[in-house]
Amino acid sequence: MIVAMLAAFAGGSYYLRTRNPAPAPAPKTLNPQSEAKSYTVRGRIEELPVPGQPSSTLQIHHEEIKSFVGRDGALGMSEMTMSFPYSSGVSLGGLSIGDEVEFLLEVNWGGSPLYQITRLTRLPADTQLNFDPAPGN
Ligand SMILES: [Cu+2]
């Protein structure tokens, strides 16, 4: 009895396998929006989040990121000051405005958040960042 049931089950499963093959795995897409990328970036801290002030952010003037792939696939991001979300593992303790830092920026245009800093270290105070000189300098 049990043997008969097993045989029937095995036969049924064989039937399903042969008549309804599983769909092939989707081919890996080359769409940049679904590719997670990370960039090592240097910059200077312009603003730090202040506890109790939700509008305050981690703001960094970052160097040009030549290999950056934008949401539309465009290559490169110029130097600019912008706010960055950061992961819970990133400690900002001991950092001050004006500090020069190197950070890992993880970008996933198909994810949430779209981008965030996942690692950040302070650079030596005499680090020369590559910023365009301000007009008149
Ligand atoms: Cu930017």
The string of pLDDT tens digits covering residues 19-71 is 666 777 665 555 656 679 999 999 999 999 999 999 999 999 999 999 999 99
CA of 79 to the centre of ligand 1 (A): 6
Confidence of residue 132 (pLDDT cuts 50, 70, 90): confident
Domains of the chain and any CATH numbers: 32-122 (2.40.50.320)
Taking residues 109-119, what's their average pLDDT? 95
Q: What is the pLDDT of residue 118?
A: 98
Structure tokens at 106: 């993880």
Structure tokens at 7: 């045989």
Taking residues 82-104, what's their average pLDDT? 97
Quick one: CA torsion of 13, 19, 20, 23, rounded to 10 degrees? Answer: 120
CA of 78 to the centre of ligand 1 (A): 7
CA of 29 to the centre of ligand 1 (A): 26
Q: What is the pLDDT of residue 57?
A: 97
